[in-house]
Structure 1
Amino acid sequence: MGAPLSAWPWENLGIFKYMLYGPFVGRVMYEIFYEEEKDWKFSWCLQLLILSAVRGLVYLFWNCYTNSLFLTRNRQILKQGVDFKQIDKEWDWDNFLILQTIFASMAYYMFPFLQNLPTWNSKGVIAALIFHVGISEPLYYWVHKKFHGDYLFTNYHSLHHSSPVPQSLTAGHGTVLEHMFLSLVIGIPILGASLMGYGSISMIYGYILIFDFLRSLGHCNVEFIPHNLFETFPFMRYIMYTPTYHTLHHTEKDCNFCLFMPLFDALGNTLSSKSWELHKSYSAGNDSRVPEFVFLAHIVDITSAMHGQCCLRTFASLPFRTRFFLIPFFPFAVIGVSAMWLWSKTFLFSFYYLRDRLHQTWVVPRCGFMYFLPFATEGINKHIEQAILTADKIGVKVISLAALNKNESLNGGGKLFVDKHPNLRVRVVHGNTLTAAVILDEIPKDATEVFLTGATSKLGRAIALYLCQKKVKVLMLTLSTERFEKVQKEAPLEYQSYLVQVTKYQAAQHCKTWIVGKWITPREQNWAPRGTHFHQFVVPPIFAFRRDCTYGDLAAMRLPKDVEGLGCCEYTMDRGVVHACHAGGIVHMLEGWTHHEVGAIDVDRIDVVWKAAMKHDLRPLSSGSTIKAN
């Protein structure tokens, strides 16, 4: 059992904790419908609900800014990124909003002078500022130092410091006792100004929102305050703290205890000697680090655009699926995607470390449906080319193309760019060799016959040629005899008989191993015999229609355990899992291969790539009695 007031009383309620706002909502509804003489627009309960919502948005918007790495990556203070462990630990960061809403409602009934406040009183601003500087700041400084004593730190404050990378949401991550004290710090200026007769609704809103703004600023882990400000006005360094200043408190713990004003650290002799020099170095925004690997992703649809860490961090940390709570945010997503189109830049969404090599994900600002519009081809290729050239310029070693960015009809699996720029230093990789290896790994070792749709596609061709050399009969579904014969002729003469062209699904009615590379309808699935397993490399995945059959997932691999800073899921993949083509680019980088992997898949390299992936601890999601690379 923990120390008193260390755990939140509603910590086991999960999402139902928001029902604690129910009495406030009920009171507002009652005032609207039943109290005709009351001006419900100035209802205290309504103001508290609005204020709580706006406060939450302040922290969320700061978090969006922090994780918009295309804006902030050169000014980040701690570089390692926020991982799933920290996100889960800070999941209920907004508990303090509920607590302070309850306290505010109690204060309203305890102090009658709060019940008839005007909308505006200019004297209240000055009074609140005096109370803040004269009482709240020194009180916070003194109590904060006490929280760093052995007992209080171990039982209460260590939770806040357990987050390795401060972010705006980290500001709300603490124990009940801490936030009770913080509520007092916030309440003193408001109550003091109101008691003097200078209180107002606008003063309450302004003070609390500025307080939250500054708390988020200190925890944001991005230094954007120019050092020139302190050089021009030296006294400002004691009046206003910076993200660098507060991050030092999280990394060294026994310095920089102030709330917002370093003056009190200077007076208490707890000012870190590194504060100003570190601020100067970070505010310059010169980050010389260059990622060794870049994965060039793309937006699938408007709703998936909200799955980045720069939107909702907790949502991005779970496998993507469309949820009802996204509906209110849909207009903002449309505006954001439109802005990306207008800006015409490749955006940087996330990064993490893999064996001490920085790994970044860039996102082409185009939605999935646009890849199938003929008139959009040139523009999309232009963005991909721009990303490749940028990577080449800054010194990236490998850039891997995701899904539609390497579409055969779009750019020939990346071959277009390699042919156009023969002197590229960055290696362009489509990663499909490892995708083929993952699919082949899932095929039962004792299989003697498989049915293959999408048989003459890039992946279908490689799978067919590989299996036939293992003496597995491949029923290749294609209406084009010319394309079938072209693939068949690539096989060694002694194995060509294992490749058989079929033109109807009926031909596979006795085959229990289906490899689906072209979307098939539920009606076409009915031709598969009972007990069939559908392996697939088709996007989107086919519907799991047959209850008497099993369905494989898209080819994917689990990242090594030593990955750090990974805090978002790759689309519908689980945590720590990436699509096989993504993993293929990682392997290319880790192995230091100097060739481009574009165009048609080199079947002879499937075994090589598979063994390299195993060597670096990348693992397929499912592995059983399968055909494995020797």
Structure 2
Amino acid sequence: MFTTLVTKRSSVVALYGYIFYIDFMNNMGHCNFEFFSKKIMSTFPLLKYLSYTPSQSISLNNLIEETIVEAELNGAKVISLGLLNQIKVVDGSSLAAAIVMNNIPKGTNEVLLRGKLNKVALAIVNALCKKNIKVAVLYKDEFKELEQRVIVSKGSLALSPINTPKIWLVGDEWDEYEQMKAPTSSLFIPFSHFPPKKMREDCFYHYTPSMITPITFMNSHSCENWLPRRVMSAWRIAGIIHALERWNVHECGYTILSLEKVWEASIRHGFQPLKTLTHQS
């Protein structure tokens, strides 16, 4: 731009290149800056990189979780962070699980769960069992693990053939072979941070746990490059809601908040469900 002003000449390549670069950076997560004032960014420079780069944020969050869990297992009753005790740790698992629950079509009476049985997956299974929705798994070891780790009523869990259920809840470590064996017109609903590889043209894929941002949000584009514009992932929204509601609790380790509570709070603050389903593209 400076060169254009000095030479009074412009380049079409430079112009479109500049526009492409700005749009690309916005799409990769530039919108996260609008949630922090310039004063905070100047006081804590590293926050700029943590808020801009999703993978770094996730790594930091996982490190904090692992540290707290390890301390609990070793018998620690209190973890002191000095002045940082004023800050609440929010991993976003509760809202992610709540969004998945609301992405399941009304009237569903059985789902197939596949992927790593992490905190979000267990919260979803607990919520489904409370609603008397049967949760099917493909493998005996998963069945036994769920029996030990979640509160289920008789008949809530089942082993199922791979070609039976049409509603799949999928997470990390989902096998591509299993995806190819799913029935035609199956609906795949991720509970993971990252979307699964889309391999079926005859099936439907939901977005990863996310919501449409309120219309009052300014300069909000897309927070992840696989989400539409003005859509934010559950893990980012959770921190905003936690702050707005002034909840005086941590959400990390084994702690799960009420799914109904976090969902209602998100809706009340203007976030909207993302109902769009996509074919393989």
Letter in 1 for 2:164: H
SS of alignment partner, residue 608 of structure 1: helix
Matches within 5 A, 1:475-486: 475-477=136-138, 479-480=141-142, 483-486=145-148
CA shift in 2, pair 1:477/1:367, >3 Å: farther
Tell me which residue corresponds to 2:244. 590
CA shift in 2, pair 1:429/1:461, >3 Å: same
Over residues 431-454 of structure 1, what are the superposed CA-to-partner deviations in whole Å (9 max), with x where a residue is unaligned?
A: 111111111101011111000013
2:91 and 2:252 in contact (8 A); partners too: yes
Larger Rg, first or second structure (1 or 2): 1
Matches within 5 A, 1:596-615: 596-602=250-256, 605-615=258-268
Counterpart CA distance in 2 for 1:317 and 1:508 is 40
Letter in 2 for 1:527: K
Letter in 1 for 2:148: K
Tell me which residue corresponds to 2:231. 577
SS of alignment partner, residue 609 of structure 1: helix
SS of alignment partner, residue 95 of structure 2: helix
How much has 1:542 moved relative to structure 2? Answer: 1.6
Matches within 5 A, 1:246-257: none
Pick one of 14, 34, 39 that aligns with 1:352: 34
**1:100 counterpart = 2:9:** yes
**1:317 counterpart = 2:26:** yes
Q: Can you give the 5+ residue segments of structure 1 that lack an aligned partner in the other structure?
A: 1-55, 60-93, 103-171, 173-311, 321-347, 372-379, 381-401, 625-630
Letter in 2 for 1:467: L
Counterpart CA distance in 2 for 1:612 and 1:532 is 31
Structure with more contact order per residue of length (Cα contacts < 8 Å, sep ≥ 6): 2
How much has 1:544 moved relative to structure 2? Answer: 1.2
Matches within 5 A, 1:441-480: 441-454=102-115, 456-477=117-138, 479-480=141-142
CA shift in 2, pair 1:431/1:553, >3 Å: same
Pick one of 80, 83, 87 that aligns with 1:421: 80
Counterpart CA distance in 2 for 1:435 and 1:367 is 19
Matches within 5 A, 1:532-543: 532-543=186-197
Pick one of 124, 139, 156 that aligns with 1:498: 156
**1:561 counterpart = 2:223:** no
Over residues 240-298 of structure 1, what are the superposed CA-to-partner deviations in whole Å (9 max), with x where a residue is unaligned?
A: xxxxxxxxxxxxxxxxxxxxxxxxxxxxxxxxxxxxxxxxxxxxxxxxxxxxxxxxxxx
Matches within 5 A, 1:86-125: 100=9
How much has 1:592 moved relative to structure 2? Answer: 1.1
How much has 1:532 moved relative to structure 2? Answer: 0.4
Tell me which residue corresponds to 1:526. 180
2:116 and 2:173 in contact (8 A); partners too: no
Q: Which has the higher helix share?
A: 1
Please report the TM-score for the alignment, with normalisation by the length of structure 2. Answer: 0.75
2:137 and 2:143 in contact (8 A); partners too: no
Q: Can you give the 5+ residue segments of structure 2 that lack an aligned partner in the other structure?
A: 16-20, 42-46, 73-77
Tell me which residue corresponds to 1:432. 93
Over residues 552-600 of structure 1, what are the superposed CA-to-partner deviations in whole Å (9 max), with x where a residue is unaligned?
A: 1111112211123x35531313332211111011111111111111112
Counterpart CA distance in 2 for 1:428 and 1:101 is 49
How much has 1:428 moved relative to structure 2? Answer: 1.1
CA shift in 2, pair 1:579/1:526, >3 Å: same
2:114 and 2:137 in contact (8 A); partners too: yes
Letter in 1 for 2:33: F
Please report the TM-score for the alignment, with normalisation by the length of structure 1. Answer: 0.36
Counterpart CA distance in 1 for 2:10 and 2:105 is 59
Counterpart CA distance in 1 for 2:133 and 2:186 is 17
Over residues 97-131 of structure 1, what are the superposed CA-to-partner deviations in whole Å (9 max), with x where a residue is unaligned?
A: 895259xxxxxxxxxxxxxxxxxxxxxxxxxxxxx
SS of alignment partner, residue 49 of structure 2: strand
SS of alignment partner, residue 195 of structure 2: coil
SS of alignment partner, residue 520 of structure 1: coil
Q: Percent identity?
A: 25
Tell me which residue corresponds to 1:53. none
Tell me which residue corresponds to 1:412. 65
Counterpart CA distance in 1 for 2:10 and 2:145 is 69
Counterpart CA distance in 1 for 2:10 and 2:237 is 47
1:453 and 1:476 in contact (8 A); partners too: yes
Indicate the RMSD between aligned Cα atoms, in angstroms. Answer: 3.8
1:450 and 1:512 in contact (8 A); partners too: yes
Over residues 142-192 of structure 1, what are the superposed CA-to-partner deviations in whole Å (9 max), with x where a residue is unaligned?
A: xxxxxxxxxxxxxxxxxxxxxxxxxxxxxx9xxxxxxxxxxxxxxxxxxxx
How much has 1:413 moved relative to structure 2? Answer: 6.1
Letter in 2 for 1:100: R
